[in-house]
Amino acid sequence: MDKIIAYFDTIPSSHRSLILFGGIGFFWLIEYAIPLFRAGYPKIKHAGINIFFTLTTIVVNFVLAMLLLNQTTSWTAANHFGVLNWLPQMNPWLYMIIGLLLMDLIGAYFIHWLEHRVKWMWRFHLVHHTDTHVDVTTANRHHPGESLFRFVFTMLAVFITGAPLWLFMLYQSVSVVVSQFGHANIQLPSWLDRILSWVIVTPNMHHVHHHYVLPYSDTNYGNIFAIWDRIFGTYDALTPDKLTYGLDTHPAESEHSNIGGMLKAPFSAYRPPVGAKFSGNQ
């Protein structure tokens, strides 16, 4: 455990980049070997669009991390603030697991659920949902505006939990890989996916969230751990043969496969889907 703490406490940026792009490359190859849906789209072009948004996410996170991360973790440690700092002394492995669970609940599940409940947040988040060909590159397809407020909520999670820097870096690394896995266009044996989905978010579980209509797009918000959707009643299932990716409100290619259109999407008039959760069109 000491080696894990020491590594993630000082993890180089190059290693974090390797985890991100190495994961994309790894799952990209698996998608060719055991795809859920055979590629019927320009996979390279599709990846280029999503990697553009991956790069904007990296830039936003890097800038904000420079401004907020060290200050937040240093303040919570110096003031003995946060849930993890208030817990009694425990086994470091148990401490790590509890920390990952809390970070995942507050910094991922909660903000994701909120993005589907607050209209102005949804306007940014819908860019992620407009992808009509969900694969590993979809994992980081986030509008820069969404990347901004997601990072703020991540820092809120660090503040509430009192997570030290090494735990934050470990969480981010695990989150990247599991998110890529959950979005990847791969088909696991149903028995294996079913078992894994009691612990972590799997492709079959998360792909339901990307079905193009309500109520399925308002289910399965999990990021790393699958337990939150079951605990809070947001879990649902749908067989892959019934999946259609994208959003019923943004069917035009210019809106889901064009960078300019996607950047402007949050500032366009709200379009209520069938069974809309928001009223009005502002």
Q: CA 259, 262, 268, 271 torsion: positive or negative? A: positive
Spatial separation of the C-alpha atoms in residues 260 and 40, rounded to whole Å = 23
In the numeric block, the tokens 């980049």 are attached to 17
**Tokens (6 digits) for 249:** 């409100």
Q: Which of 58-62, 82-86, 102-106 is least confident?
A: 58-62
What is the mean pLDDT of the segment spanning 206-232? 96
Q: Is the CB of residue 188 less than 8 Å from the CB of residue 196? A: yes
Q: Is the CB of residue 192 less than 8 Å from the CB of residue 169? A: no
Q: Is the CB of residue 138 less than 8 Å from the CB of residue 50? A: yes
Distances (CA, A) of 167 to 5, 8, 40, 43, 188: 8, 7, 40, 35, 30
Cα 13 to the center of its chain, rounded Å: 20
Instruction: State the distance between the two ends of the chain, measured CA to CA, in whole angstroms.
Output: 51
Q: Which residues contact 137 (CB under 8 A, 6 or more apart)?
A: 24, 28, 46, 47, 50, 51, 54, 183
Angle between helices 92-104 and 144-161 (to 10 degrees): 140
Spatial separation of the C-alpha atoms in residues 250 and 242, rounded to whole Å = 19
Map residue 35 onto helix, strand or coil.
strand
Share of the chain above pLDDT 70, in %: 97
Q: Which of 48-57, 65-74, 86-95, 130-139 is least confident?
A: 65-74
Share of the chain above pLDDT 90, in %: 84
pLDDT tens digits, 128-172:
999 999 999 999 999 999 999 999 999 999 999 999 999 999 999
